[in-house]
Amino acid sequence: MKKKSDPVGAAETARSGGNPGRIHGAIARTLGIAIVSGQHQPGEILTNEIESSELLNVSRSAYREAVRILAAKGLVESRPKTGTRVSAKARWNLLDPEVLAWLFESEPSEDFLRGLFELRMIVEPAAAALAAERRDEGQLERMRQALIEMQQQTLATEAGQAADRDFHDTVLEATDNAALFTLSSSIGAAVRWTTIFKQRKRELPRDPMPDHWKVFDAIAARRPDAAKAAMERLVGLALDDTRASIDPKD
Amino acid sequence: MKKKSDPVGAAETARSGGNPGRIHGAIARTLGIAIVSGQHQPGEILTNEIESSELLNVSRSAYREAVRILAAKGLVESRPKTGTRVSAKARWNLLDPEVLAWLFESEPSEDFLRGLFELRMIVEPAAAALAAERRDEGQLERMRQALIEMQQQTLATEAGQAADRDFHDTVLEATDNAALFTLSSSIGAAVRWTTIFKQRKRELPRDPMPDHWKVFDAIAARRPDAAKAAMERLVGLALDDTRASIDPKD
DNA sequence: CCTTTCTATTTGTCTGACTATATCCGAGAG
DNA sequence: CTCTCGGATATAGTCAGACAAATAGAAAGG
């Protein structure tokens, strides 16, 4: 007879992301964070399913489903006899939205952050340029509405942040490129998550609206180069802000 | 009493990718292909777990693990009472290596292919530029060895293709950017998968070595702009070749 | 007509058994 | 002494059937 209280242990705090409330989702999250944060080194072998599930006070099937999730994201690999081992970092799907979220929950390494912004700096300006060439009137109108909403609500409110998301998502949609959309939207979501931290530590570091409008105007005018340049500035500022919120020198 | 023969039905042909031979992996693959190929439209609700597992002659747990895999990749969402439904395309993790592989197994839409190459055209030249700035001598030497091997074996052999992979992977490694590495290497793997098709339909469409050496020389000389331009040419040629292998006009 | 309650359906979780597979090690052959 | 082969063994994988939880939709009530 085992005690049935407090299943999943400390993992019950799972709310955001994949499978809120579900046990397998919570375990995947906990284990995932432990892995991406380096608590389990690549090559390390996790304790076997029986012991692990007993330790967490969950059934073996629930634990197994959690491991399947991690395996699907490239974080672990399971084989009979050997067990389940943490995969080499090169196999991790770092662009998976959940993996990204887990990374950001445990203070990502400065190196990784640098790389992520480097990638944004490559991709997002190019996306803005494509959007300037391909956007239709409906998308343009949605961008305008989003910016107006954002201006009224400011980034301090939930509605304002939603408007910001809408704007950027519509820009991506206007590129008419599914792969690009997936990439940027998952990175954007993860980074925006960090931005919320920033909002708590210091007040709005600067007014983001003028730069947003510059991007909009360039897209509206169908000027790819201008859109690219404006988006570069926007991402650059986001980098500064994020850096300020990470660095302890304040 | 159920007959035990031929579990998973036609899905047993699963070899490559995630979980070769394992039942849940095979089901995930089959279902995943069915979804990305449009056989199951977004919003559609799959038949429930009991019926599905009976239909496939597998246990419910095996089927559930398969669904967990698909959910982890954003292809489906499960909720009690409602069932498991195919997610909107915007939620699919198109950059997941397995999803990409599934897409390429069912002749991806021309639109998607165009988008993918557009993304390559954005990312890979930028990666080459970064590599030119940051590569160290060891990486340079590995690139050289890979190209020599590739030249001797040609792309028609398995070893030659492996050398090609090595070259590109080393370039990515030299960028010292984990996110960029993950992105390009999964796209590259998927596209290279298509290239194999190409090799079967027509002989080597042109000698790829000179362009590869140009990339190498630029990286060796630490000339980012030249590396970028050379890689643009390389990706552009790959696009032509892939297009030729897809288009039926031959 | 709106709100609340109930019910039925589906996923979620649990238990415990059996199977398949790969690693490791020891015995036998060379 | 070394190498090869085969079996022991630990582990994930699969199976079966039961029960729990959640929720959409219907029914009852205001």
A11 touches chain B (CB under 8 A): no
Find the radius of gyration of the CA atoms of chain B: 21
Of residues A129 and B2, the one with the higher pLDDT is: A129
- Checking if the pLDDT of A229 tops 80, the result is yes
Provide the pLDDT for residue A16.
Answer: 46
**Lookup: tokens for B41:** 């439209």
Question: Does the CB of B210 sit below 7 A from strand C?
Answer: no
* Chain A partners within 8 Å of B122 (Cβ): 122-123, 126, 180
Give chain A's mean pLDDT.
89
**Gap from B225 CA to D1 C1', Å:** 62
Q: Which domains does chain B have, with CATH numbers?
A: 9-91 (1.10.10.10), 110-246 (1.20.120.530)
| pLDDT for position A54 | 97
Give me the DSSP letters along B38-56: TSS-TT-BPPPHHHHHHHH
Q: What percent of chain B has pLDDT over 70?
A: 85
Which residue blocks in B84-206 are alpha helix, DSSP H? 97-105, 110-134, 137-153, 158-174, 178-201
- What average pLDDT does range B241-249 have in this prediction? 66
Q: How confident is the model at residue B248 (pLDDT cuts 50, 70, 90)?
A: low
Question: Measured from the CB, is A60 under 7 Å from any atom of strand D?
Answer: yes
Q: Greatest CA separation found in chain B? A: 71
Calculated CA dihedral for residues B60, B54, B32, B42, nearest 10 degrees:
-100
Separation between Cα atoms, residue B114 and residue B195, nearest integer Å: 15
Q: Answer yes or no: do A68 and B73 touch at CB < 8 A.
A: no
Q: What pLDDT is attached to residue A246?
A: 66
Unique residue bearing structure tokens 């160290």:
B136
Q: Cβ contact (<8 Å) for B72 and A69?
A: yes
Alpha-carbon distance of A30 to A81, in angstroms, equals 24
Q: How confident is the model at residue A66 (pLDDT cuts 50, 70, 90)?
A: very high
Q: Do A68 and B71 touch (CB under 8 A)?
A: no
Rounded to whole angstroms, the distance from the CA of residue B107 to the C1' of nucleotide D14 is: 33
Query: What is residue B123's predicted lDDT score, i.e. its pLDDT?
Result: 97
Q: What is the mean pLDDT of residues B124-138?
A: 98
Nearest residue: Cα versus C1' of D11: A81
**Dihedral sign, Cα of residue B54, residue B60, residue B66, residue B70:** positive
CB contacts < 8 A, A to B, total: 121
pLDDT at B243: 74
Q: What's the pTM value of the predicted model, to 2 decimals?
A: 0.91
What does pLDDT average to over chain B?
Answer: 88
Separation between Cα atoms, residue B100 and residue B169, nearest integer Å: 18
C-beta atoms of B180 and A98 within 8 A: no
CB A223 within 8 A of CB A229: no
Judged by a CB distance cut-off of 8 A, whether residue A57 touches chain B is no
Note whether B187 and B95 are within 8 A (CB).
Answer: yes
- Taking the Cβ of residue B122 and every Cβ of chain A, the question of whether any pair is shorter than 8 Å is answered with yes
Nucleotides of D under 7 A from a protein CB: 9-18, 21-24
Rounded CA gap, A8 and A142, in Å?
A: 43
Instruction: Nearest by CB to B68, from A68, A98, A122: name it.
Output: A68
pLDDT at A217 over 90: yes
Q: What is the pLDDT of residues B150-191, one digit of tens each?
A: 999 988 888 888 899 999 999 999 999 999 999 999 999 888
Nearest CA in chain A to B68: A69
With cut-offs at 50, 70 and 90, classify the pLDDT of residue A166.
Answer: very high
For B70, left (φ over 0), alpha (ψ -120 to 50), or beta?
alpha
Tokens at A42, concatenated = 């690549």
Confidence check: pLDDT of A207 > 90? no
* Torsion sign (Cα): B209, B211, B214, B220: negative
Give the chain A residue whose CA is nearest to the CA of B176.
Answer: A115
DSSP B188-203: HHHHHHHHHHHHHHSS
| Higher pLDDT, residue A157 or A227 | A227
Q: By percentage, how much of chain A surpasses pLDDT 70?
A: 85
Instruction: Check whether A197 has a pLDDT greater than 70.
Output: no
Q: How far is CA A108 from CA A33, A36, A95, B114, in A?
A: 11, 9, 14, 33
A108 shares contact with chain B (CB less than 8 Å): no
Our measurement of CA A16 to C1' D19, in angstroms, reads: 28
Q: Which of B69-73, B93-97, B241-245 has the lowest mean pLDDT?
A: B241-245
Q: Do B93 and A93 touch (CB under 8 A)?
A: yes
Which residue in the set B61, B68, B122 is minimally distant from A123, CB to CB? B122
